[in-house]
A and B are shown apart, each in its own frame.
Chain A
Amino acid sequence: MSTQTLTSVNPTKQTGSAAGSFKKLVGNRIGSAVALVIAVLWTVPTFGLFVSSFRPESEIKSSGWWSIFADPQFTLDNYQQVLQGSTSTNLAVFFQNSIVIAIPGTLAPLILAIMASYAFSVLEWKGRDIVFVAVFTLQIVPLQMALIPLLRIFSGTAIADMFPFLSLWTAHTIFGLPLAIFLLHNFMSEVPKDLIEAARIDGAGHVTVFLRVMLPLMLPAIASYAIFQFLWVWNDLLVGLTFSGGSRTVQPLTAALAAMTGDRGQDWHLLTAGAFISILLPLIVFFALQRFFVRGLLAGSVKG
């Protein structure tokens, strides 16, 4: 796969590489210093939030988080309040909502897109390329364009009352599909045609080819898209805010946190702990599966 060759390191001398010339230009010392400054700027804000979330409320509100180095004081009170406290500060219910939204919101577009990309890469039918370009083009339609009419399709219907998460699942599925089909189609097109032909000649039907040949080969691609979509759904605010109609029953964590910054903008003990809870799961997913994530990113953008 071409993405793998892109990411692999060329075992050449430093000065001979494209980057080497630039480093020589700025000088190795200065270069390292600049890189270090950027790295610090990119991590200190998150670190400050993390440290603060473990400081007592009175401390957070009266002194900067860096004072822990002189006067270390830690507590789990903030987390207790955010996870088990009274209704107004309790985020546990929203954490659950986010999970209930994110799992089908990731699975559904993933599976539908795997199937669709089979139709767009292996099967050869008239008009296929035009339809594929149309789907590709849909990527540029901003969410905002579809929001209100899609919302109206659901509002007031009995099924939406019965299953309050249905509209959120559907919205995330639809908004995720164009990119999913595009990405997975790119991967699937790279599978050698001979492999499929061989299986077909052996008498395998399309269902067999799809399940036995394609799916196992597609696993890395599936993993990278699944991570994308999960992070996207988990981190989304716009869909969560508009499709939940502000109701506690379905609102995701992001929407609850955004509301909290408005209502309790000075309650930094709650905001820091709440924010950290919301970024914990994405960070775990991200660090555990970074390899797949990077590969998906490169496939989506470099190949075009």
Chain B
Amino acid sequence: MGFFLYSKNGQLILAVLAFLAVLAALLLLATAVDRVRGRKQTFLMAAVFGGPALLLLAVGLIYPAIRTMWMSFMDKRSDEFVGFDNYAYLFHDGLQALGNSLLWVVLVPLGSTVIGLVYSVLIDKSRFEKVAKSLLFLPMAISFVGAGIIWKFVYEYRGAAQDQIGLLNALITQLGFEPVRFLQDAPWNTVFLIVVMVWIQAGFAMVVLSAAIKAVPTDIIEAAKLDGANAWQLFTRITIPSIRPSLVVVLTTICIATLKVFDITQTMTGAEFKTQVLANEMYDWSFTYGDNGIGSAMAVVIFLLVVPVVIYNVRQMNKNKAVR
């Protein structure tokens, strides 16, 4: 018994077993419900199958989210009501984070989508398509922390007198220029961090857009050609409009992911040198400075920024359904 309670592997096995026991109990319960007759049966069955997940979501996601909203109007220990003070902070001292986050949200989706689109078009039906796709897609499997370390190494800076061990500065000094402090010198350091996120997300854009491009019916293209459309017209008037739904999905999905990411600033600059972003500032206030008021306000602001993006996404999807 000690093994299960006091060792990590033991607890792992115990957890899996306990979970399977719960599962077995649920299925037994469902078997009992199977014998119930009448209209009640479906409802009871739905409760057995869906109940556990819904309960967890209510306790672990809905309740905490409401509580966070409430906490954002309270002081740092959630004792006193402070109105909009926490939000006011954001528009004074938090402007740096807000501004940087907006830059991230514009540049990352654009950069990833353009690169993903161009690349998927260029490798389409080439002999190396599969391998080429894997290469661009590979960073998606890597954690933000891992990617942060990989790129920190690329950006590594040494004084001009030393040999550069970072790839970029080695190239720059080789060409006769002074080495650049990529991660320290604002405002460009934020752009160099954004490059890392683009590097991670481009693979996602590429996979989705590549599938969309392959689904464009060839007869439309043949017809346009017969009408004398040139290559540029074909691309901008046929291909792009045809894959527009996928483009919207890709842009919005990456946009949302970008708003929430804090790992890259955390790993690469520690959010110093004016690289602060909202998600990182939320972490700092809540867990480093212990101010749940401002931390919660930051979380709510992230949420409020996500909402319009999602609404836009859903409206676009409904529009497409209506067209079909």
A binds B: yes
What are the interface flags for A98-118 relative to B under an 8 Å C-beta threshold, 1 for contact and 0 otherwise?
011001100110011101101
Query: B192: shortest Cβ distance to chain A, in Å?
Result: 13
A231 an interface residue at 8 Å Cβ cutoff?
yes
Interface-forming stretch among B56-64, B79-87, B90-98, B101-109?
B56-64
B118 x A17 contact (CB < 8 A): no
Residues of chain B touching chain A, judged by Cβ–Cβ distance below 8 Å, are 5, 8-9, 11-12, 15-16, 19, 23, 26-27, 30-31, 33-34, 42-43, 45-46, 49-50, 52-54, 56-57, 59-65, 67-69, 71, 115, 118-126, 132, 134-146, 148-154, 156, 163-167, 170, 199, 202-204, 207-208, 211-216, 218, 221-222, 231-232, 234-235, 238-239, 242-243, 245-246, 249-250, 253, 256, 259-260, 262-263, 266-268, 270, 279, 282-283, 286-287, 292, 295-296, 298-300, 302-303, 306-307, 310, 313, 317
Overall SS of chain A's interface? helix
**A-B Cβ contacts below 8 A, count:** 384
B302 and A268 contact, CB distance less than 8 A: no
- Per-residue interface assignment for chain A, residues 1 to 40, with 1 indicating a CB less than 8 Å from any chain B CB and 0 otherwise: 0010111111010101111111111100001101100110
Interface CB pairs A-B, < 8 A, 23: A17-B221, A18-B213, A19-B213, A20-B221, A31-B122, A35-B119, A35-B122, A39-B135, A42-B199, A65-B165, A115-B50, A115-B53, A119-B45, A119-B50, A125-B43, A147-B64, A150-B60, A237-B266, A261-B152, A278-B145, A282-B141, A282-B142, A301-B250
B299's partner among A23, A145, A237 (CB-CB below 8 A) is: A145
The one of A22, A35, A170, A275 in contact with B239, judged by C-beta atoms closer than 8 angstroms, is A22
Are B62 and A138 in touch, CB under 8 angstroms? yes
> With the chains together, A16 CA to B125 CA distance in Å?
12
The contact of A177 among B53, B135, B142, B317, by CB within 8 Å, is B53
Contact A304 B249 (CB under 8 A): yes
Q: Contact between B292 and A146 (Cβ–Cβ < 8 Å)?
A: no
Contacts A144-B260, A163-B11, A205-B31: A297 and B207 contacting too (C-beta < 8 A)?
A: yes
Contact B249 A258 (CB under 8 A): no
CB distance from A199 to the nearest CB of B (A): 13
Task: Determine the chain B residues whose CB is within 8 A of the CB of A279 once the complex forms.
Answer: 141-143, 146
Interface size on A, residues (CB 8 A): 130
For chain A residues 71-128, which have a beta carbon within 8 Å of chain B? Answer: 96-97, 99-100, 103-104, 107-108, 111-113, 115-116, 118-120, 123-126, 128
CB atoms of B146 and A257 under 8 A apart: yes
Q: A49-B149, A115-B49, A207-B27 are in contact. List 6 more A-B contacts (CB 8 A).
A: A22-B122, A39-B132, A162-B5, A166-B15, A206-B45, A241-B283
Residues of B within 8 A of A174 (CB): 56-57, 60-61
Contact B31 A207 (CB under 8 A): yes
Beyond A107-B16, A174-B56, whether A17 also contacts B216 by CB under 8 A is: yes
A297 and B208 contacting across the interface, CB-CB below 8 Å:
yes
**A155 close to chain B: CB less than 8 A:** no
Kindly list the 10 A-B residue pairs having the minimum CB-CB distance in the complex, ordered from nearest: A119-B50, A235-B143, A205-B34, A19-B124, A149-B64, A174-B60, A21-B234, A286-B141, A146-B64, A18-B216
User: For residue B267, which residues in chain A have a CB less than 8 angstroms away from its CB?
Assistant: 237, 257-258, 261
Is B221 a contact of A150 with CB atoms below 8 Å?
Answer: no
Question: What is the CA–CA distance of A285 and B266 in the complex, to the nearest angstrom?
Answer: 26
Across the interface, which residues of B come within 8 angstroms of A302, CB to CB? 208, 211-212, 245-246, 249
**With a CB–CB cut-off of 8 A, which chain A residues contact B42?**
123-125
B46 engages A6 (CB within 8 Å)? no
Chain A residues in 8 Å Cβ range of B122: 19, 22-23, 26, 31-32, 34-35
Check A38 against B119 for contact (C-beta < 8 Å): yes
Closest to B300 in A: A145
Task: Give every chain A residue within 8 A of B170 (Cβ-Cβ).
Answer: 64, 66
Q: Which of A6, A49, A153, A234 interacts with B153 by CB under 8 Å? A: A49
Partner of B121, one of A22, A111, A173, A254: A22
Question: Which of A44, A138, A262, A304 lies in contact with B167, CB distance below 8 A?
Answer: A44
A238–B121 CB distance below 8 A:
no
A265→B58 CA distance, assembly (Å) = 41
A247 within 8 A of B: no
Bound together, the chains give a CA A271 to CA B140 distance in angstroms of 20
Say if the beta carbon of A219 comes within 8 Å of chain B.
no
Given A42-B138, A237-B143, A290-B134, residue A146 in contact with residue B65 (CB < 8 A): yes
Contacting residues, chain A, for B49 (C-beta < 8 A)? 115-116, 118-119, 123, 206, 210
Kindly state the separation between the CA atoms of A179 and B125 in the bound complex, as whole angstroms: 32
Is the CB–CB distance between B52 and A149 below 8 Å? no
User: Is residue A181 contacting chain B, with contact meaning CB distance below 8 A?
Assistant: yes
Closest to B52 in A: A112
Which A residues are CB-close (under 8 A) to B313?
Answer: 304
Cα distance A22–B266 in the bound complex, in angstroms: 39
Q: Please, how many angstroms separate the alpha-carbon atoms of A103 and B151 in the complex? A: 29
Specify which of A6, A23, A138, A265 is in contact with B61 (CB 8 Å cutoff): A138
Closest to A211 in B: B27
B135 & A112 in contact (Cβ 8 Å cutoff): no
Q: Does A213 contact B (CB under 8 A)?
A: no
In the complex, which of the residues A52, A135, A148 has the most CB atoms of chain B within 10 Å of its own CB atom?
A148
User: Which chain A residues lie closer than 8 Å to B287 at the CB level?
Assistant: 241-242
